[in-house]
Amino acid sequence: MSGFEAEDFTSWGPRHTAALVGHAAAEQVLLEAWASGRLPHAWLITGPRGVGKSTLAFRFARFLLVNGMAGAADDGPSLFGAPPKPTSLALPEEHPAFHRVASFGHADLITVERSWDDKNDRWRSEIVVQDVRAVIERFGMTAAEGGYRVCIVDAADDMNTNAANALLKILEEPPPNAVLLLVSHAPGSLLPTIRSRCRRLPLQPLGDTAMHAALRDLLPDLSEAERQSLAVAAEGSPGRAVTLGGQGGLDLLREWLDLIAGLPKPDIGKLHSFGDKLGRATGAENFRVMVELFRWWLARLVRAAAAGRAGGAGWAELFQGEAALAARLASWQAPDRWAEDWETIGRLLDRGESVNLDRKQMLLNLFATMGRAADSAARR
């Protein structure tokens, strides 16, 4: 019951990130596969959004581009013996290959992402077949530097049917010395034939210790209390935490919940002011972060209410008064009714986005759904 939409985290994103926290076991799987000399040609890296899938994909891509094929450097006699085998996928940030990958300048790496739509002047909502055809063309060439050619598809879930079928042709007849790394948040949505031709590598949300270590590195300017709140909201996803922190997501959620706390007699002036702020052209990203964070919060409420502990023991408070509000809302109606409202809110937002409904109007519609629950409780 959550819906964060992207793993594009500004300038610190996966292409630029050297460190990988909490996924040593997955890294070891890739390293051992490379060292065996029988590296699978396609990997499906799965897990929740923001846990580090793209970071791992770029980390492995840089490793392959620098180290080439296992055993290639061991051919023939050597005065000093064989060089030691790598024990990590890590590449220092000052390495020339690191800079070339970060600046889109490595000839043997191609990334497939949602591309820019010049006609509509916006990012496409899906990966189209033209994006995949670029891979077919690149993989038809000899590796520029004599090692691997690597393709990262981020995220494979974004491919439309034609793009998926085009990628499937590459997977069915892979060129030599080529590796495809498919990042997927929802592998069940992919074609079964794509899944069957990839070795799957699942990543799990980070535990508390690893999560706090990651946030200390990624968000050093925040207080420990702020990082703790983000860790709770992100549920083991450093990428999600950075998105929320960068967009002021928790502040937006607090402001929204303060409005809900006024129900069934809301402050209409503050509600319209909040809607105006997120309805402006500059508020699009803040709106996306806020509504998705609220959907997460409401899902959290549903789960806790069903267990009889909304706002009580085990409820990690995001900010002062939030636990008390959760307990109050849980008393408004039964958990199954809250689950229905969570689904209703999702449909309202999806429908509003599909018809390009005014963002302020979507907020007012969402608020009306919450108001009905409050009114029902007030009449009891």
**Model pLDDT, residue 141:** 79
Instruction: Return the beta strands (E) in 127-266 as ranges.
Output: 149-154, 178-184, 199-202
Query: Has domain 10-202 been given CATH number 3.40.50.300?
Result: yes
Domain boundaries, the chain: 10-202, 247-379
The token duo for 342 is: 């969570």
Neighbours of 217 (CB within 10 A): 13
Residue 202 DSSP one-character state: E
Long-range contacts of the stretch 349-355 (C-beta < 8 A, 24+): 349/291, 349/295
Dihedral (C-alpha) 314, 320, 326, 332: value to the nearest 10 degrees?
150
**Model pLDDT, residue 240:** 87
Cβ–Cβ under 8 Å, residues 114 and 127? yes
Cα–Cα dist 210/23, whole Å: 9
Cβ–Cβ under 8 Å, residues 299 and 3? no
**Model pLDDT, residue 356:** 79
Cα–Cα dist 368/203, whole Å: 38
Strand pairing partners for 111? 152
With tokens 């580090």, the residue in question is 52
Cα–Cα dist 11/49, whole Å: 18
Q: Are strands 178-184 and 122-123 parallel, antiparallel or unpaired?
A: unpaired
Q: Rounded to an integer, what is the distance from CA 308 to the centroid of its chain?
A: 30
Instruction: Write down how long the chain is.
Output: 380
| Angle between the N-to-C axes of helices 224-234 and 238-246, in degrees from 0 to 180, rounded to the nearest 10 | 120
Cβ–Cβ under 8 Å, residues 332 and 376? yes
**Model pLDDT, residue 245:** 84
Nearest residue to 231 (alpha-carbon basis) of 219, 355, 17: 219
**Model pLDDT, residue 81:** 53
The token duo for 62 is: 């840089």
The token duo for 291 is: 């509504």
Three-point CA angle 355, 350, 192, nearest 5°: 115
Q: What per-residue string of b and e applies to 185-199 under the rule 16 or more CB within 10 Å gives b?
A: bebeebbeebbebbe
Q: What per-residue string of b and e applies to 69-98 under the rule 16 or more CB within 10 Å gives b?
A: ebeeeeeeeeeeeeeeeeeebebeeeeebb
Nearest residue to 226 (alpha-carbon basis) of 238, 241, 237, 240: 241
**Model pLDDT, residue 1:** 35
Nearest residue to 11 (alpha-carbon basis) of 218, 205, 216, 183: 218
Cα–Cα dist 201/56, whole Å: 11
Cα–Cα dist 313/322, whole Å: 13
Neighbours of 251 (CB within 10 A): 13
CA distances from 60 to 33, 150, 170, 308 (A): 11, 9, 20, 44
Cβ–Cβ under 8 Å, residues 245 and 226? yes
Looking at the chain, the whole-number percentage of residues with pLDDT higher than 70 is 93
Tens digit of each residue's pLDDT (9 = 90 or more) over 33-87: 999 999 999 999 999 988 999 999 999 999 999 998 775 545 445 555 556 778 8
Neighbours of 179 (CB within 10 A): 20
Residue 319 DSSP one-character state: S
The segments of the chain whose pLDDT lies below 70 read: 1-12, 71-83
